[in-house]
Structure 1
Amino acid sequence: MPVSPAPALRALTFAFGLSQFFRSCLAVIAPELQRDLQLSAAGFGLLSSCFFLAFAVAQIPVGIAFDRFGVGRPTRWLLAVGVASAALFVLAPGGPAAMLAQAGLGLACAPVFMGLMHYASVQLPSARYVAFIGRANAIGMLGGLCATLPLGWLTQQLGWRPALALAGLCLLAACAAVWRTVHDQGDHDAQREAPLAMVGSSLALLGRPVLWTLIPVCVAMAAGTSFRNAWGGPYLVDLFGLQTQARGLALSTLTLACFGTALLLPQLVARHGLRATVLGWTAMSAAAGAALAGWPGGGAVLAHLAFMALLVTVGMLHPLVMAHGRELLPPALRGRGLGVLNSFVFLGSSLTAWAFGQIADLGRRSGWPLESAWSAIFGCAALLVLLGALAYMLSPRLAPR
């Protein structure tokens, strides 16, 4: 009797929610981390980038492991690394230990969403795949939501260390659930390949011009989500003076916007097609980033939050771009192909987190008004999103299904 994939999909979705929490939590507690760990703006940017750099570097090895061993084995071992890293972050006495812990958490979260997509693509019929991933993406946003107002409230009441200790216990529960339920075996053709040949075939994917129509939009998504993952908090402090709970409430609106977008996008795909949906949404997000670059401060915070929400929701295109890439590759290369594309998403996150910190630090050293520094940061993000949209216009159309 075949085993239902539902428990494994639930376990991976729960782990994905925690991944969203850990990639987003620094934004709310940024000032407290900078104070307790003695970090400058550039140091905070480096702290945030450690997570995404480790996440990005792991993508191709994880994709190879998925093709060879299945999703379960690499995911449960890396989640175990994450449990230890969460404990290190809670106990970190300063910046270097916290950066090491962030890298470990990045490794732990690296296989989760790609694993969910890969496992679902094998276990579910094609007609259900995009709809399921859209729903899972929306459910995962609940983890991001917990990294906003609830985390801000707990931090204000207890401090950021006890709050993140609770998140570490949840990560332990997710690790146990994946260990118990996800037992797939990988692709038979991929298992006949030598490990070095698999690495070579992964790198050879970069020689496929069709993937380079998707890679710039992968980086563009990272430019938008940086404001939910890290830089939204410092922005709201610098230009609007919001305290911890108020920052959490403000950033929760961004996560709710992402939640709504994740539910809306499958409907737009059904009506207009995947490619048109991605192009339309990136264009709107680029326009929102340009508006913030021209008007970074002053006036009501709600207006700026609305623009920032539209910029941030470009990250919700992730499953659509991955689904597009998946259709362009043969089955034995899909794990590696998703790894290559995902590596650029998180290399982009690491790069933008670091670059925005460098811009902020340059502005402070040069005596720029705060509005000018944030205008430059938002302008950089808008430009990256625009370039991603232009490249994606060259992507192949998919046959309707």
Structure 2
Amino acid sequence: MAAFPIRRYLTPLIHVLMWGLFGLSLLLLNPVLGRFSLPPQFWVKQAVVFGLWIAAFYLTAHISVPRLLLRGHVGWFVLAILGTAAAVLLLAELVESWLNLQQLMEQNFRPRGSGGGLRNELGGFRPRPRRFDMMSLLTTLLVLGISTSIAAVQKWQADAQRRQELEQQKVNSELSFLKAQINPHFFFNTLNNIYALTVLDTGAAQQAIHTLSRMMRYVLYETTVETTQLSKELAFVQDYVTLMKLRLTERVRVELEWPAPVREVPVAPMLLLPYVENAFKHGVSATQPSRILVAVRQPSAQVLELEVRNTLFPASAASLDEGSGIGLVNTRRRLDLLYPGRYTLTVDEATPEGEFRVHLTLQIL
């Protein structure tokens, strides 16, 4: 059974309740109603005036405000408001004259004998048309003011929602573009490594292809969603490190530090890889000893830390800001989009130990 679309009818229901309460308040605030019978023409005139107020409300909300006020024509809008109020009062006076209501009210208030009549019971009360006109004017202006306020607020809310939707679309487009740049960049380097490995060791090349196929499955199925589990992301990074170690010599020492056990938290896919890839790209030498450290820590369930260190070689030293790879530049942009105000990225281009160090802290939840 289909659910009742309550949101579809919520706004009309609110308007019906608002006008119902407004009409009820007019009845309760009248000092005469409920104590004395009034001519039917009085109720006809009140119903007409109430309908004029409703028409003026929606005329202002749907025409005057969007076409004049919101387009900067303030002067014309003020004239429209005054013209609408004058039209309501004029039509009310015409209806009252057509119904001959003034004469009927005076007859109803005329004394009946020496001690009776509505006039004597109200202490000499007599209708005051001028005062009634002033009350009608104030009420009309109040209705128009409420209409203007509601229309302006709704326009502001609609604009804010539209801006938020456009910003979200922009973020999604940028993330898709960044992923499209990171993935080919990664596979381009990896295929080059495997090609070099086939010349040296066929068995190791087969193992590398198997590892690469597992990584490709991750890229194909996990990067299509906004987040993935941390354990899958760490397994992907570990596969990459394993693949890189197949072609390294004994001069390169690779150290991995994983949290034990891993606390599952959602992370953006392929967010950690560019920093690890950068270490292998710039921290390995064919002739000199080198060290690469990849450490992932979870100080708490809401915090994820990544530390990557690699030996600094002057000929290949590069910083994240100087474009040491397409992936690194885009990863910084991804951090801005996915974790605004919830990450810290520290880059030390020359530590006392002679290493290039990257330290990333993410506030996951």
Q: TM-score, normalised by structure 2?
A: 0.23
Answer with 1 or 2: which has the greater Rg. Answer: 2
In terms of fraction of residues, the more helix-rich structure is 1
In terms of fraction of residues, the more strand-rich structure is 2
Q: TM-score, normalised by structure 1?
A: 0.22
Higher relative contact order (CA 8 A, sep 6+): 1
